[in-house]
Amino acid sequence: MSETPPVKVGYIAIVGRPNVGKSTLLNHLIGQKVSITSRKAQTTRHRITGIRTDAETQYIFVDTPGFQTQHQSALNRVMNRTVTQALSDVDVVLFVVEALRFDERDEKVLALLPRDQPVLLVLNKIDRVNDKEKLLPFIEKMSSLFPFAASVPLSARKGGSQLDQLLAEIRRYLPEGTAVYGDEEITDRSERFLAAEIVREKIFRLSGDEVPYSVSVEIEKFETIGNLRRIFAAVIVDRESQKPILIGNKGERLKEIGTQARKDMEKLFDSKVYLEVWVKVKGGWADDERALKSLGYE
């Protein structure tokens, strides 16, 4: 625990529809990758806490799944509950939208935003906007829909001074308090959880659209021996026909998934990693509340 606790400390929820860059924003705000990312929707399925501590403030960010408005499986219902619960448990809300893009999926999230807490509008991906003069009318339009405490245009991917501006705006609304976490802590999630998420990220990035949404990852064994982590990960798929897609020709795809995951784990855990990955079938897991609970979904 810090000897000189920050003057301000609080929880900040990051919410928005799928694929607006919430997890990328979290990773850049804390300066470390704790939330997995890919171009596919539904990459983030859990509530992920990322912690940033400086001399005056401890920011406790809560990354949430993209709010699901289409396929209403038990998994999607669990993810949506995660979003609504996060909104009730925090001091500040970041509503992330893609700059100059606002559709019915964003409207569904907008309807959930609390009126009794400060909500900051974050316009992400401004590096993709060619005509920056369109930003102000867009902000004015958004402000007519909801009383945002502030609006911050930025590029989460590129970072820079825009992130500093966002942190300054957040700090204005955080309560005074004592640090909840130590100076060096960056997340409240276990290495076991992070390992499973890293494997799942590689599946999302290296397989086609037909597989990732039917996949989960279960760490069946996690051992720490000196500076070595021995990790055994089972990739859970919904149907037998999905196994060969994930395994690939002569096992090449699964091997690449394992290799990339191991490299990320070694960087995050700052240790050597021995990783074994295999695929097994658990039919209907994404629509089974008990199966979801056993796989760690809240």
Per residue in 120-167, pLDDT (tens digit) is: 999 999 999 999 999 999 999 999 999 999 999 999 988 878 999 999
d(CA 53, CA 179): 9
Task: Decide which of 172, 205, 220 is a domain's last residue.
Answer: 172
* Confidence class for position 209, pLDDT limits 50, 70, 90: low
Residues 75 and 166 grouped into a single domain: yes
pLDDT of residue 88: 75
Per residue in 26-65, pLDDT (tens digit) is: 989 998 888 756 555 555 555 778 999 999 999 999 887 6
Give one DSSP letter per residue of 181-196, joined into a string: S-TT---SS-HHHHHH
Residues 207 and 64 grouped into a single domain: no
The pTM for the full model equals: 0.79
Q: How confident is the prediction for the chain on average, in pLDDT?
A: 85
Residues 203 and 85 grouped into a single domain: no
Count of structural domains, the chain: 2
- Strand segments (E) across 29-178: 48-53, 57-63, 92-98, 119-124, 150-153
Q: Is residue 255 part of a domain?
A: yes
d(CA 268, CA 51): 15
d(CA 15, CA 22): 7
Residues 110 and 202 grouped into a single domain: no
Residues 76 and 26 grouped into a single domain: yes
CATH number, domain at 164? 3.40.50.300
Higher-scoring residue by pLDDT: 94, 285: 94
Residues 163 and 87 grouped into a single domain: yes
Residues 195 and 104 grouped into a single domain: no
CATH number, domain at 273? 3.30.300.20
Residues 43 and 95 grouped into a single domain: yes
Residues 126 and 66 grouped into a single domain: yes
Domain carrying residue 93: 8-172
pLDDT of residue 234: 94
Residues 21 and 159 grouped into a single domain: yes
Helical (H) or strand (E) element with 8? strand 8-15
Residues 111 and 236 grouped into a single domain: no
Average pLDDT for 260-282: 94
Q: Is residue 131 part of a domain?
A: yes
